[in-house]
Structure 1
Amino acid sequence: MKCNWLQNLGKVLIFALILFPEFTYAQIQKNWNWGGPIDPLQAKYQVIHYQLELEIFPIDQEIKGKNKIAFQSQEKLDTLRLNLIEEFEVSKVVMEGQEIGFSRHGDILDIFPIDCTCEEVEVYYGGKTPIAIRPPWSGGFTWEMDELDNHWMGLSSQNEGGKIFMPCLDHPSSEPLNGVDLIFTVPKPYFVASNGRLVDTKESNGKLTYHWTTRYPINNYNINFTVGVFHEESMLFQSVDGKEIPMFVYVLQENRDKAKNLLEVLNTSARTHEKFFGPYPFPDDKIAVVETPYLGMEHQTINAYGNNFQFEKIGDVWADWLLHHELGHEWFGNKVSVKDWADYWIHEGLTAYGDWLFYLEHGGDEAYHKKVASVKVGIRNLRPVVSPRNSTSDIAYHPEIYTKGAFIIHSLRYYLGDEVFFPMLKAFASDERFIYENLVDTSDFTEFVQDYTGREELKGFFDLYLKSVRLPKVKIRKKGKKGYQVSLTNINFSMPVEIKTSNGYERHVLSSKAVMVKSDEPIVVDPKGWYLLDK
Structure 2
Amino acid sequence: MNKLLFTLILLFSLNHLNSQVVGSNHSNYTEADTLRGSLRPERNSFDVQKYHLKLKVEPEKKSISGSNVISFEVLANMPVMQLDLFENMQIDSIIHGEKNLIYERRHNAVFIDFEKELSKGTTDSIEFFYHGNPVVAKNAPWDGGFVWDEDKNGNPWIGVAVQGTGASLWYPNKDHQSDEPEEAQMDIAVPNGLMNVSNGRLISEEDLGNGFTKWSWKVVNPINNYNIMINIGDYAHFSEKYNDLDLDYYVLSYNLEKAKEHFTEVKDMMACFYEKMGPYPFEEDGFKLVETPYLGMEHQSAVAYGNKYLKGYLGNDLSGTGIGLKWDFIIIHESGHEWYGNSITSRDIADMWIHEGFTSYTEAIYTECRWGKEEALEYIKGIRQNISNKSKIIGDYGVNSEGSGDMHYKGSNLLNTIRSIYDDDELWWNTLRDYTKTFKHQTITTADTESFFNKATQVDLEPVFNQYLRHSALPVLQLRQADDQILYRWKADVQDFKMPVDVIIDEEEIRFYATSEWQSYETGEELDELSVNDLEFYIETEILK
1:179 partnered with 2:183: yes
Alpha-carbon offset, residue 460 of structure 1: 1.5
Q: 410, 414, 431: which one pairs with 1:408?
A: 414
Map 1:210-359 onto structure 2 (within 5 A). Answer: 210-238=215-243, 244-311=244-311, 319-359=327-367
Deviates more, 1:516-525 or 1:210-219: 516-525
Using the alignment, how far apart are the partners of 1:260 and 1:109 within structure 2?
Answer: 45
Q: Which residue of 1 aligns with 2:404?
A: 398
- CA RMSD in angstroms, aligned pairs only: 2.6
Kept in 2, the 8 Å contact 1:245–1:285? The answer is no
Map 1:89-168 onto structure 2 (within 5 A). Answer: 89-115=90-116, 117=118, 119-168=124-173
Kept in 1, the 8 Å contact 2:392–2:404? The answer is no
Distance 1:475-1:106 versus aligned 2 partners, 3 A rule? closer
Using the alignment, how far apart are the partners of 1:73 and 1:171 within structure 2?
Answer: 17
Alpha-carbon offset, residue 397 of structure 1: 4.3
Using the alignment, how far apart are the partners of 1:495 and 1:142 within structure 2?
Answer: 47
Distance 1:494-1:103 versus aligned 2 partners, 3 A rule? closer
Using the alignment, how far apart are the partners of 2:292 and 2:352 within structure 1?
Answer: 24
Give me the TM-score of the superposition, normalised by structure 2. Answer: 0.86
The secondary structure found in structure 1 opposite 2:158 is strand
1:508 partnered with 2:512: yes
Alpha-carbon offset, residue 141 of structure 1: 0.4
Alpha-carbon offset, residue 328 of structure 1: 0.4
Amino acid across the alignment from 1:379: I
1:453 partnered with 2:457: yes
Using the alignment, how far apart are the partners of 1:419 and 1:163 within structure 2?
Answer: 43
1:523 partnered with 2:530: yes
Kept in 2, the 8 Å contact 1:500–1:527? The answer is no
Q: Which residue of 1 aligns with 2:476?
A: 473
Alpha-carbon offset, residue 236 of structure 1: 1.2
- Unaligned 5+ segments in structure 2 are 1-11, 23-29, 316-321
The secondary structure found in structure 1 opposite 2:426 is helix
Using the alignment, how far apart are the partners of 2:63 and 2:413 within structure 1?
Answer: 43
Q: 477, 488, 491: which one pairs with 1:489?
A: 491
Deviates more, 1:65-74 or 1:462-471: 462-471
Kept in 2, the 8 Å contact 1:248–1:263? The answer is no
Q: Which residue of 1 aligns with 2:43?
A: 42
How many residue pairs match? The answer is 498
- Unaligned 5+ segments in structure 1 are 1-19, 239-243
Q: Which residue of 2 aligns with 1:419?
A: 426
Using the alignment, how far apart are the partners of 1:92 and 1:381 within structure 2?
Answer: 48
The secondary structure found in structure 1 opposite 2:285 is coil
Kept in 1, the 8 Å contact 2:485–2:520? The answer is no
Amino acid across the alignment from 1:296: G
Q: Which residue of 2 aligns with 1:12?
A: none
Distance 1:488-1:81 versus aligned 2 partners, 3 A rule? closer
Amino acid across the alignment from 2:112: I
Alpha-carbon offset, residue 527 of structure 1: 4.4
Amino acid across the alignment from 1:518: T
Q: Deviations over 1:293-339 (max 9, x none)?
A: 11111010001111111126999x96211111000000000110011
Using the alignment, how far apart are the partners of 1:520 and 1:106 within structure 2?
Answer: 66
Q: Which residue of 1 aligns with 2:436?
A: 429
Amino acid across the alignment from 1:451: K
Amino acid across the alignment from 2:489: S
Alpha-carbon offset, residue 476 of structure 1: 2.4
Alpha-carbon offset, residue 469 of structure 1: 2.6
Identity of matched residues, %: 27
Q: Deviations over 1:428-480 (max 9, x none)?
A: 1110xx231x310111011111222243x211111122212343322323243
1:198 partnered with 2:202: yes
Deviates more, 1:396-405 or 1:219-228: 396-405
Deviates more, 1:251-260 or 1:74-83: 74-83
Alpha-carbon offset, residue 68 of structure 1: 0.4
The secondary structure found in structure 2 opposite 1:293 is coil
Deviates more, 1:519-528 or 1:166-175: 519-528
Structure with more relative contact order (C-alpha pairs < 8 Å, separation 6 or more): 2
Using the alignment, how far apart are the partners of 2:525 and 2:82 within structure 1?
Answer: 71
Amino acid across the alignment from 2:378: K
Kept in 2, the 8 Å contact 1:191–1:230? The answer is yes
Using the alignment, how far apart are the partners of 1:82 and 1:517 within structure 2?
Answer: 65
